């Protein structure tokens, strides 16, 4: 019970800090970077759902991120749909694309699945890069509108867009929490631990894997649509393999298969990247070896390592308390025998 109370306290503190951040930091650049970080977090939560809880590593999520972003841009600029209709349809279209790809991709396993999705992600990048008449190609896609007003709520300022993205991030975190601690989430974890054993228990692994994959694609497309409405300019680079590498870095540094991992990893790596701007040309050479060392020596990431440290402490306290109770029980009969001997003497 105390663990849950501490967790709620920490969540309340983090929520208060997120809400008060624009008031505490008045620099517009930091507000911009924090908004971008929230968008990355939503995308990483999508990757974490499938890779961390179902056990399949998808390397196509940067492509799905780009599809969500470009679909919003095309529907608003070229088709002329209202923003929120385009927003919903972009997520729906990307989820449908994920469903079609998942039906084929999930017939493979392990590294074959990762290679297949890597190819899918690269094909999406090539389509965006070469289809000039639709996507603008290397020139980019411009003119994407900011989020439209919802009644009295206006999202035309960076501050309003910050709170809008924060709202969607909070919604994704709530859904992830409810999902992970539900029977469905336990089913995903069972598939991750042993798909063969899950099959013997009567679990429809294909159905659950496909559901997890489509939901993860939905989260990633949601992040892409928010990115397009916030940046309002798109280039094919958002579908390139380097973006997928960034997603994996955020997830592995924070802790794969944990609810706090996407938040911790994204904030930490984004902050370090901003402090090392002068090394941006060598970022792959720097973060690549560091990520390899992290996987080898600290595979659970920061949040995962902390969770396991706390679990070991609780287990050690439980064993110590059990040993103390056992010692007290053994001491009582000894004391009684000593008293009887004193009375007989």
pLDDT tens digits along 58-70: 999 999 999 999 9
Average pLDDT over residues 157-166: 92
- Is 227 exposed, middle or buried (CB count within 10 Å of its CB: 0-12, 13-18, 19+)? buried
CA 37 to chain CA mean position, Å: 11
Average pLDDT over residues 266-289: 74
Report the pLDDT value the prediction gives residue 3, as an integer from 0 to 100.
52
Q: What are phi and psi of 131, to 5 degrees?
A: -85, 75
The three-state secondary structure class of 202 is coil
Average pLDDT over residues 265-288: 74
How many C-beta atoms surround the C-beta of residue 292 within 10 A?
10
Residues ≥6 apart with Cβ < 8 Å to 298: 305
Confidence of residue 314 (pLDDT cuts 50, 70, 90): confident
pLDDT tens digits along 221-235: 999 999 999 998 898
Report the pLDDT value the prediction gives residue 153, as an integer from 0 to 100.
84
Average pLDDT over residues 126-142: 88
| CB distance 84 to 149 below 8 Å | no
Report the pLDDT value the prediction gives residue 326, as an integer from 0 to 100.
77
User: Which residue shows structure tokens 């228990």?
Assistant: 201
Report pTM.
0.88
Mean pLDDT of the chain: 85
The three-state secondary structure class of 108 is coil
Report the pLDDT value the prediction gives residue 133, as an integer from 0 to 100.
87
> Which residues partner with 233 through β-bridges?
142
- Rounded-to-integer distance, Cα 123 and Cα 136, Å: 16
pLDDT tens digits along 168-202: 999 999 999 999 999 998 999 999 888 888 888 88
User: Which residue shows structure tokens 């649509």?
Assistant: 225
Report the pLDDT value the prediction gives residue 202, as an integer from 0 to 100.
85
| CB distance 201 to 35 below 8 Å | no
């Amino acid at each position: 019970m105390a663990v849950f109370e501490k967790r709620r306290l920490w969540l309340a503190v983090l929520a208060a800090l997120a809400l008060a951040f624009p008031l505490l930091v008045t620099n517009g650049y930091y507000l911009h970077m924090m908004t971008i970080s929230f968008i990355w977090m939503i995308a990483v939560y999508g990757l974490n759902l499938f890779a961390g809880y179902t056990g399949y590593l998808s390397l196509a999520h940067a492509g799905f991120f780009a599809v969500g972003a470009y679909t919003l841009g095309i529907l608003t600029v070229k088709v002329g749909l209202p923003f929120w209709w385009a927003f919903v349809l972009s997520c729906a279209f990307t989820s449908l694309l994920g469903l079609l790809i998942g039906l084929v991709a999930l017939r493979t396993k392990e590294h074959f699945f990762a290679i297949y999705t890597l190819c899918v992600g690269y094909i999406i990048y090539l389509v965006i890069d070469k289809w000039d008449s639709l996507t603008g190609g290397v020139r980019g896609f411009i003119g994407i509108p900011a989020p439209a007003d919802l009644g009295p709520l206006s999202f035309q300022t960076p501050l309003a867009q910050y709170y809008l993205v924060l709202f969607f991030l909070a919604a994704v975190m709530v859904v992830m929490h409810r999902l992970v601690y539900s029977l469905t989430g336990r089913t995903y974890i069972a598939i991750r631990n042993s798909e063969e054993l899950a099959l013997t228990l009567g679990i429809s692994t294909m159905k659950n894997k496909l559901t997890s994959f489509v939901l993860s694609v939905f989260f990633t497309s949601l992040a892409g649509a928010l990115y397009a409405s916030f940046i309002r300019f798109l280039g094919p680079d958002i579908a390139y393999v380097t973006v997928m590498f960034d997603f994996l870095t955020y997830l592995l540094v924070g802790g794969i298969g944990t609810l706090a991992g996407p938040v911790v990893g994204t904030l930490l790596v984004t902050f370090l990247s901003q402090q090392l701007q002068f090394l941006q040309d060598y970022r792959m050479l720097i973060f690549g070896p560091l990520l390899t060392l992290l996987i080898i020596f600290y595979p659970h990431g920061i949040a995962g390592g902390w969770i396991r440290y706390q679990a070991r402490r609780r287990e050690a306290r439980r064993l110590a308390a059990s040993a103390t109770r056992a010692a007290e029980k053994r001491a009582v009969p000894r004391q009684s025998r000593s008293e009887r001997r004193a009375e007989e003497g």
